[in-house]
Amino acid sequence: MYRTISFVLPFLVYSLTLNALWASDHPNSLLDLQYALLVNHTAFFPQSVASNSVDISVYKDHYTSALAPGSAILSAPFGALGIALDKKFTLFGYERLFDELFVALCASISSFLVYSVSRVFWSVRPSFLSSLSFAFASLAWPYATVFFQHDIALLFVVCSLYFVLKHKPKSAGFSLGIALIVDYTSALFALPILWYLNRKRAFGFVLGYLSSSWTTFAYNYLVFGNPFTFPENYWIEGSRYLLSRFTPVYAPIHFLFLLFSPYRGLFAFSPILAFGFYGMFLMKSQLKKPATLFLLLFLVNIVFYSFWDDWDGGLCYGPRFLVESLPFLCVPISCAFEKARGVLKMLISVSYAYSVVVQALGALTSVFSKSGSVYFYQPLEFNLHMLQKGVFTTWWMNTNFVPFFAKVTFTTVLIFCLIIPFFMLQARHLCLKAEVF
């Protein structure tokens, strides 16, 4: 039952909080590309369409998306249905809504996989809490409501982790290879996985990775005539030489900002994730190698973006670049919860509740931020004001909702995400023994 609920409950909540009303450069660029691929059968589109976004590349006077194409390609069946209903290209039609539904589906499957990975090591209730922490108390929820690449890539990254722990290296490599065409930085996760595997399984992982990652280079060749030329090389807002966009001198401070700053600090938006590190610490006695794997998988991503000049991810809600690292902190929360007693268990519960409130604010009001200093805390200084004014961005209500009903809706969603899981976690008779690893 818990395994099923770890998918159904998030999918229901995500589906009810899809955006569909507000646009930004990132999803607009993906929508432009998807429409061009489905209707015009080309990756290029006219300047009139390119003006929808700044995430555009110009190659030989032709316009295309500057983003990895995987999100637009994988969600194409959903987008095609939306285009058929729209009967024309529009940024605020069914194409956007159905593409967001695909993102919500990916995030919900990821929640299911976080539970499944946790069950490899721990019993039902702690594993269910890990799944809930991922689904409702992390940035996976706000970004499951908009057409960004993060939750899509995340699905294949966590798939890869699951197959690694289930001793299926070829499937793990194949999954991570698919993630590459969705988000190029997902290739970084291969490094810790190769460290974790023995030589024979590492070879199988590489074979699996090559069997799917070739699609990325094939797309580059078809569009740019060179398999090693990526869309961002021709981004209109940046340098063609991507190495020039790394700023090593600022990496230490960016690292701290990505963890602790009010503006983009992971723990400021999801304090429950701090217990993931505590869980890794507890794992070191009996599960040292898996604990090290989780830590390295998290670090390889945050260290990379600490060196990136656009470390904050633009006008977004929290550190969106760290979304693909969320499972590696959520899974060890199971260990922390299983061993927690008294005050520590209360702290975990309070941090979970606060994290859910922060994610609900982002999902129901706006995932798109305004610019601010590193001390600007968007949930309280921006999104809370939107809630008080009755400004929602969900597909089923007007952007200027009646403030009273907006607050009632917000409270109802919180009850759904907090009270139901609370009662389920109290069902001690459903606590089973952990699966054999």
Reported as a single tens digit per residue, the pLDDT across 200-209 is 999 999 999 9
Q: How far apart are CA 161 and CA 294, in angstroms?
A: 9
51: Cβ contacts below 8 Å, ≥ 6 apart: none
Range of the domain at 299: 22-426
| CA angle, 173 then 176 then 178, to 5° | 110
Residue 421, in any domain of the structure: yes
Residue 170, in any domain of the structure: yes
For the cut 70, the answer to whether the pLDDT of residue 426 exceeds it is no
Residue 420, in any domain of the structure: yes
Half-sphere exposure of 409 (CA within 13 A, CB side): 24
Q: How far apart are CA 249 and CA 253, in angstroms?
A: 9
**Which amino acid does the sequence have at 43?**
A
Find out whether 112 and 7 touch, Cβ atoms under 8 Å. yes
246 beta partners: 308
**Nearest in space to 399 (alpha carbons), one of 387, 408, 412:** 387
**How many structural domains is the chain composed of?**
1
The H or E element that residue 65 is part of is strand 62-65
Take residue 181 and report the two structure tokens written for it. 């065409």
Residue 12, in any domain of the structure: no
The pTM assigned to this predicted structure is: 0.93
Q: How far apart are CA 415 and CA 115, in angstroms?
A: 22
266: Cβ contacts below 8 Å, ≥ 6 apart: 258, 259, 273, 318, 319, 322
422: Cβ contacts below 8 Å, ≥ 6 apart: none
Residue 3, in any domain of the structure: no
Q: How far apart are CA 206 and CA 201, in angstroms?
A: 9
Residue 434, in any domain of the structure: no
Residue 358, in any domain of the structure: yes
Position 423 scores a pLDDT of 59
Find out whether 109 and 4 touch, Cβ atoms under 8 Å. no
Residue 414, in any domain of the structure: yes
Q: What percent of the chain has pLDDT over 90?
A: 67
For the cut 60, the answer to whether the pLDDT of residue 323 exceeds it is yes
Q: How does pLDDT run across 289-314, given as a tens digit for each residue?
A: 999 999 999 999 999 999 998 899 98
